[in-house]
């Protein structure tokens, strides 16, 4: 029996802030809209099926944003799952909007953030958002906006005080920005770029591990780089995946009758107890494969070989 034939149990649980507790293998919704997370999905019914199957498999953390689509991911979540299971946590991001060409544009002014929170509430059918990340450009993927981080973050604090959002998270932040925010209010989660071949945010992950802050790596499979035998990323930039690296990952995968993606997910789960993994897909089959990674137990030799890749 291969890993894909078995459904995954909980990969352990993780606290988000003071009140929330989720399974460490969640689901990211960025791939549910059209190509580039822009426009409607090619298969509307298939996107709904993925969301429902994720919950059936034990996912109780969904990562989304109203700029996925825009609006498409949140509308799909509501259509597929509302009324929501009692234990389902939906984390969303604000601080970005899309232009007419689908580009991601910083939008961190206080009035913009307030509008984005209300739009998320309306689209998701919530009275309160359990977890909201402020997305900034500190990790280099999104170009930094003109609004100062302190000004944007002050609005996050205000929205929390007003009860519109529960826990506050940060996305794309530097270690300095994380520490600056933590001096004001507790931070429940950080969502930065991090995967098997990209560890530029290791300093932020270490701080999160030390302070029991959930670390939610976005692009945990390198935007497709680690998700298939072709080793192609959907991004026009990023780390290379050399032939030697591919041999190492494929060797570990073959030893467990697993896929590259399953190895990459298992490595993240093993790397730090603070990590919450959110692989996304528009395929039920790939979803089930990703969830099965919770059963993969890497050996010390596997870990050492994978740790040495970057």
Domain count, the chain: 1
- Asked whether residue 214 carries a pLDDT value surpassing 50, the answer given is yes
Question: Could you give phi then psi for residue 84, rounded to 5 degrees?
Answer: -75, 150
Range 242-265 average pLDDT: 93
- Asked whether residue 239 carries a pLDDT value surpassing 80, the answer given is no
Catalytic residue among 68, 133, 218, 271: 68
Query: What pLDDT, on a 0 to 100 scale, did the predictor assign at position 234?
Result: 52
Produce one character per residue of 118-141: b if its CB has 16 or more CB atoms within 10 Å, e if not.
ebbbebbebeebbbbbbbbbbbeb
Range 199-209 average pLDDT: 96
- Asked whether residue 26 carries a pLDDT value surpassing 80, the answer given is yes
CA 310 – CA 43 distance, rounded (Å): 36
- Domain residues for the domain of 15 are 3-307
pLDDT tens sequence across 257-298:
999 999 999 999 999 999 999 999 999 999 999 999 999 999
The alpha-helical segments, DSSP class H, found in the chain are: 44-56, 72-81, 110-124, 149-161, 175-182, 202-211, 243-255, 260-271, 284-292, 300-307
Query: What pLDDT, on a 0 to 100 scale, did the predictor assign at position 114?
Result: 98
Q: CATH number for the domain including 66?
A: 3.20.20.100
Known catalytic membership, residue 84: no
pLDDT tens sequence across 90-114:
999 999 999 999 999 999 999 999 9
CA 274 – CA 268 distance, rounded (Å): 10
């Amino acid at each position: 029996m291969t890993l894909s034939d078995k459904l995954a149990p909980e990969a352990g649980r993780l606290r988000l802030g003071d009140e929330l507790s989720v399974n460490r293998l969640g689901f990211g919704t960025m791939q549910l809209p059209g190509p580039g997370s822009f426009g409607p999905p090619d298969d509307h019914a298939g996107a709904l099926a993925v969301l429902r199957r994720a919950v059936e498999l034990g996912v109780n953390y969904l990562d989304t944003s109203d700029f996925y689509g825009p609006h498409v991911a949140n509308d799909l979540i509501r259509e597929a799952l509302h009324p929501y299971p009692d234990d389902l946590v939906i984390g969303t991001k604000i601080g970005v909007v899309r232009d007419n060409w689908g580009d991601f544009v910083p939008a961190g002014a206080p009035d913009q953030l307030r509008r984005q929170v209300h739009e998320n509430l309306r689209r998701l059918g919530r009275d309160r958002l359990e977890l909201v990340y402020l997305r900034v450009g500190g990790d280099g993927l999104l170009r930094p906006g003109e609004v100062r981080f302190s000004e944007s973050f002050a609005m996050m604090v205000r929205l929390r005080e007003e009860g519109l959002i529960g826990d506050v998270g940060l996305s794309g932040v530097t270690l300095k920005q994380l520490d600056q925010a933590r001096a004001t209010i507790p931070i429940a989660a950080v969502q930065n770029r991090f995967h098997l071949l990209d560890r530029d945010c290791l300093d932020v992950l270490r701080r999160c591990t030390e302070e029991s802050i959930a670390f939610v790596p976005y692009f945990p499979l390198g935007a497709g780089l680690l998700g298939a035998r072709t080793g192609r990323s959907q991004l026009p930039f990023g780390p290379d995946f050399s032939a030697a690296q591919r041999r190492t990952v494929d060797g570990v995968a073959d030893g467990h009758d697993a896929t590259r993606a399953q190895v990459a997910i298992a490595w993240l789960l093993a790397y730090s107890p603070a990590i919450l993994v959110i692989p996304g897909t528009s395929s039920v089959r790939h979803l089930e494969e990703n969830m099965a990674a919770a059963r993969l137990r890497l050996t010390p030799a596997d870990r050492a070989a994978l740790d040495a890749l970057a």
